[in-house]
Amino acid sequence: MEKNIWVLMSPDNEHYDEKFAKEEISRLCKKWNVKAVSTSQTRDGGHGQERLYVVSGNSEAVNEFESELDEALY
């Protein structure tokens, strides 16, 4: 399975920074055995700078990765 996921890398409230976000992505990739590839696409949805990642792996693992990333970064 392959899924596009927008990740808030630099929130406006400075709750965390891009380095922390990348560390969480790396940690969760290892935990769930998925691959997350950063694209060059970015956007600002009103809460800070987001980057598009393409996440691939087992469908259940990709969904768990996304769920845990949401908890860690939002």
Q: Please check the confidence at residue 46 and state whether its pLDDT lies above 90.
A: no
d(CA 39, CA 67): 20
Confidence of residue 30 (pLDDT cuts 50, 70, 90): very high
Query: pTM for the complete prediction?
Result: 0.92
Backbone angles phi, psi at 71, to 5 degrees: -65, -40
Mean pLDDT of 61-74: 95
